[in-house]
Chain A
Amino acid sequence: MNATFAALPLSVPLRDPAARGRAAWVLAGLVILWPLLSIGEFHPWVLFEARNLKVVAYFLAGFLPPESSPDFLRELAQATLQTLAIATAGIALAFLIAVPLALLATQALSVSRLGPGPGQPRARWLRRAVRGLMMILRGIPELVWALVFVRVFGLGPTAGVLALGLTYGGMLAKVYAEILESGDQRPVRTLLEAGSGRLAALCYGLLPGSAQDLTSYTVYRWECAVRASVVMGFVGAGGLGQLMDQSMKMLNGGEAASILISFLLLVLLADALSSWLRRLLANTGTGNSVAGVSALALTLAGALGLAVVLSFHLLEIRLGDLLSWDAAQQIADFFVGFFPPDLSLAWLHKVAQGALETIAISALGTLLAAAGGLLLALPASGRYGRIAAAATRFVLNALRSVPELVWATLMALAAGLGPFAGVLALAVHTCGVLGRLFAESFQNASAASRNALIESGSPPFAAFCYGTLPEVLPQLVAYTLYRWEMNIRMAAILGFVGAGGLGQLLYVELSLFHYAQASTLIAAMLLLSIAVDSASAKLRSMMNR
């Protein structure tokens, strides 16, 4: 060896400088995880207790054959139709709520910003207030709204429609405002500067450019509303969910199986319809148009209007009634009961405990899901052959098609009531979601590093750890953190079926008509989801350094 190299002073230490930092992270992780395990009542062994095993086995054995008596099927068809109607009517209501909010909130239609002209501070405050209202509307999960409205309007679809309308109204308004702001601003600004009114400026300056995006997003939200309306039945807001809740409580496996099957079919159908509509929308715009409105658009609008009218008719709700002075009075009277919130120390202490439990459920559920997703993603990415890939993909699809709340009901049977059932439910559903996302990352990662290791004799698993994992790890962590944000909201709700956390407290307090306590809980849910959003955003930016 050349002398100049051998004589080089080895000034670099023989200790890994990153080791201390890593050890600190691991230690911090353990310190956080340990109490979470105890708060989340993480007792996997209860799954194998003879009593629980027997209940689950009895229930699952009942799945075969699925119930198919004509009476039940008729009931099932009716419930399915009702679910669809709730989703459609809910989206229609959401649209009515979202449009004025979005127009008020969007910067794109601000007249006072020109110049800036007179009244700018006032307009800015108004916009802020509207944005705050939108945040509250969509920050409180639809299931909580549904639970509240069931108290006002009684059991039935009305509560579901209203809940969907409010939550999705907030979401649609936010996205509408963003879409309006993201397009080309010059046409609308020119119109406003020429003294045009705001509505005219919207129609002539903004809609031509963004109508397609707006419609496409609304259709996508309808698809989400179908899933959501199934779940809302669990708190008594009608449809398939209510039927499923009853069957599960009676441990009627055959009925539950039939309902699950029709639910999965319904979701698949909504998926297909929604993606077909959106593709159709993406391909139009250059077609034959008369006065800017194509025949297709008119047909679609007509069909949509008909669907909405039929939905309200089927549900025996009149939109006018929902938006009437009476209804508003009724809701207002009810909501007055929520103020002031109960801020006594004893109650706050209890709420804090519930919040901790919710955090524990979401964090443990997401962690387990990430671990399981990683394991399942390996075969799903085609690493062990095509048959293994197809089989695991089927399993992952099945896991994520069943909503968390349905899993929670099942898990409550398997593990007893309490937070652990929530952990399991989140873990199973999220595992399906993350497994699929992880598998896609593995497939998209460049194979060069891994192949180079394989070619120098490394076993496949080590080559994966040294070649593929370092490239995809940031993406895997980002996906997991995103799901954690969604799961904290879900964990707050799972309590409705007895899976612990804030939801369980809320369910109990609302049943006891303790509205002051309930409003503290709802505020805690809002705060929690905002806090987790910002914590997760911070962690993600740290990962990308």
Chain B
Amino acid sequence: MFRLDAISLTHANGHVALREVTLAAGRGEQLAIIGPSGAGKTTLLRLLSAALRPGGGELTLLDTTPWSLAAEALRQLRSRIGVAHQTPPLPGRQRAITAVLAGRLGVWPWWKALASLAYPLDIAGARQALAALDLAERLFDRCDRLSGGQLQRVGVARLLYQKPQLMLADEPVSSLDPTLALQTLQVLIADARARNATLVVSLHAVDLALACFPRIVGVRDGRIAFDRPAAKVDEILLRDLYAAEGRQLPTQDKQSLATEDTPGAIPAPAPLPRRNNCA
């Protein structure tokens, strides 16, 4: 489905975001990306959505090399990849239904896109996507009337409505309370599974990632720190990953796990923040 081979990327301001990253996933696979802020999670996802061009290495998306494609072919490839953003960039005056329907602009002909601005052409489809996220009643509300968490779910609904083969989500539940966050992830996971689509989600909350995803990729300093099944992720790995962020492991629930007080001591095998109730 996608393959990154020794990918490097340096931003225009000279900041090195990714160093020699190698990562691959097959069709229908689901993985979570975790790591401290600034580790390169967002950059990684932007590479996967063919929004950023890698500085070095080989990138294959949906069995093609996106940056060797002509403009029209690249556009069609992008329409098969969908992204849910942490703060969805939706115009405040746009209504939720229009924002959701915009997910299919890549496959709609131009006249349909224009006509849908005058009268929404797929109300049932947009309603279904929003209803899955418990937002059906906000269907005709303007985006500037929605809270941050509701906006995030509108962004997820757009992704659901787009039905892409590669689903990417950049911290899609960061503004939601624990229950809603879990439910929203469950919807994404169920949708990806039903359509056999590949799902890559970056998450700040370690416990959610471990509870919901079979495969966990830890990113630190622009490198893959580990890439293994969730069952094989132990606390030592996690503490290494988040070493720069102090003694707390970021979790969904506010009471993060505190590490041992005595520095240098071998951490006791504390219970990992794991849930078994995800999907």
Is the Cβ of A474 less than 8 Å from the Cβ of B83? no
By DSSP majority rule, is chain A's interface helix, strand, loop, or mixed?
A: helix
Is the Cβ of A1 less than 8 Å from the Cβ of B136? no
Distance of A5 Cα from B136 Cα, bound (Å): 11
Interchain CB contact (< 8 A) of A470 among B79, B94, B137, B194: B94
Known: A5-B132, A457-B79, A458-B106. A452 touches B93 (CB 8 A): no
Q: CB-defined interface of A1-41 with B at 8 Å, one 1/0 digit per residue? A: 11011001011101111110010000000000000000000
Distance of A296 Cα from B133 Cα, bound (Å): 69
Distance of A154 Cα from B48 Cα, bound (Å): 77
Looking at the complex, which of A214-222, A412-420, A461-469 is the stretch in contact with chain B?
Answer: A461-469
Q: What are the residues of chain A within 8 A of B113 when measuring CB–CB?
A: 459, 461-462, 465-466
Any chain A CB within 8 A of the CB of B35? no
Distance of A453 Cα from B93 Cα, bound (Å): 16
Min distance, Cβ A282 to any Cβ of chain B, angstroms:
34
Distance of A4 Cα from B80 Cα, bound (Å): 29
Is the Cβ of B93 less than 8 Å from the Cβ of A473? yes
Q: What are the residues of chain B within 8 A of A458 when measuring CB–CB?
A: 75, 79, 102, 105-106
Is the Cβ of B190 less than 8 Å from the Cβ of A2? yes
Is the Cβ of B76 less than 8 Å from the Cβ of A457? yes
Q: What are the residues of chain A within 8 A of B191 when measuring CB–CB?
A: 1
Is the Cβ of A462 less than 8 Å from the Cβ of B105? yes
Is the Cβ of B105 less than 8 Å from the Cβ of A457? yes
Distance of A462 Cα from B106 Cα, bound (Å): 9
Is the Cβ of A462 less than 8 Å from the Cβ of B108? yes
Distance of A188 Cα from B275 Cα, bound (Å): 73
Known: A2-B190, A456-B78. A10 touches B105 (CB 8 A): no
Is the Cβ of B49 less than 8 Å from the Cβ of A455? yes
Is the Cβ of B140 less than 8 Å from the Cβ of A16? yes
With an 8 Å Cβ cutoff, the count of chain B residues facing the other chain is 56
Any chain B CB within 8 A of the CB of A451? yes
Is the Cβ of A466 less than 8 Å from the Cβ of B105? yes
Any chain A CB within 8 A of the CB of B162? yes
Considering the complex, give the chain B residue whose CB is closest to the CB of A458.
Answer: B105
Interchain CB contact (< 8 A) of B91 among A1, A454, A471: A471
Q: What are the residues of chain B within 8 A of A473 when measuring CB–CB?
A: 93
Is the Cβ of A474 less than 8 Å from the Cβ of B93? yes
Any chain A CB within 8 A of the CB of B38? no
Is the Cβ of A451 less than 8 Å from the Cβ of B106? no
Distance of A446 Cα from B92 Cα, bound (Å): 12
Any chain B CB within 8 A of the CB of A542? no
Q: What are the residues of chain B within 8 A of A2 when measuring CB–CB?
A: 183, 186-187, 190, 279
Is the Cβ of A1 less than 8 Å from the Cβ of B76? no
Considering the complex, give the chain B residue whose CB is closest to the CB of A461.
Answer: B110
Interchain CB contact (< 8 A) of B131 among A5, A17, A465, A470: A5
Distance of A19 Cα from B140 Cα, bound (Å): 11
Scan residues 148-168 of chain B and give those whose CB is less than 8 A from a CB of chain A. 162, 164
Min distance, Cβ A244 to any Cβ of chain B, angstroms:
44
Interchain CB contact (< 8 A) of A457 among B80, B114, B118, B120: B80
Q: What are the residues of chain B within 8 A of A52 when measuring CB–CB?
A: none
Is the Cβ of A455 less than 8 Å from the Cβ of B140? no
Distance of A452 Cα from B88 Cα, bound (Å): 9
Min distance, Cβ A250 to any Cβ of chain B, angstroms:
49
Any chain A CB within 8 A of the CB of B233? no
Min distance, Cβ A327 to any Cβ of chain B, angstroms:
57
Min distance, Cβ B2 to any Cβ of chain A, angstroms:
15
Scan residues 103-127 of chain B and give those whose CB is less than 8 A from a CB of chain A. 103, 105-108, 110, 113-114, 117-120, 123-124, 127
Q: CB-defined interface of B65-103 with A at 8 Å, one 1/0 digit per residue? A: 000000000011111111101001111111101100011
Min distance, Cβ A101 to any Cβ of chain B, angstroms:
43
Min distance, Cβ A287 to any Cβ of chain B, angstroms:
40
Any chain A CB within 8 A of the CB of B24? no
Any chain A CB within 8 A of the CB of B134? yes
Scan residues 449-506 of chain A and give those whose CB is less than 8 A from a CB of chain B. 449, 451-459, 461-463, 465-467, 470-471, 473-474
Any chain A CB within 8 A of the CB of B51? yes
Is the Cβ of B105 less than 8 Å from the Cβ of A463? yes
Considering the complex, give the chain B residue whose CB is closest to the CB of A15.
Answer: B123
Is the Cβ of A12 less than 8 Å from the Cβ of B162? no
Any chain A CB within 8 A of the CB of B4? no
Q: CB-defined interface of A415-432 with B at 8 Å, one 1/0 digit per residue? A: 000000000000000000
Considering the complex, give the chain B residue whose CB is closest to the CB of A19.
Answer: B119
Any chain A CB within 8 A of the CB of B139? yes
Any chain A CB within 8 A of the CB of B17? no
Is the Cβ of A456 less than 8 Å from the Cβ of B93? no
Q: What are the residues of chain A within 8 A of B93 when measuring CB–CB?
A: 470-471, 473-474
Is the Cβ of A456 less than 8 Å from the Cβ of B103? yes
Query: What are 9 A-B interface contacts by the 8 Å CB criterion?
Result: A5-B132, A18-B95, A449-B91, A455-B83, A456-B78, A456-B106, A456-B162, A466-B113, A470-B91
Chain A residues engaging chain B, CB cutoff 8 angstroms: 1-2, 4-5, 8, 10-12, 14-19, 22, 446, 448-449, 451-459, 461-463, 465-467, 470-471, 473-474
Known: A5-B187, A453-B105. 14 other contacts (CB 8 A): A1-B190, A16-B119, A22-B118, A449-B89, A454-B78, A455-B49, A456-B49, A456-B79, A457-B78, A457-B106, A458-B102, A459-B75, A461-B110, A462-B113
Q: Which 4 A-B pairs have the closest CB atoms?
A: A457-B79, A457-B106, A448-B89, A458-B105
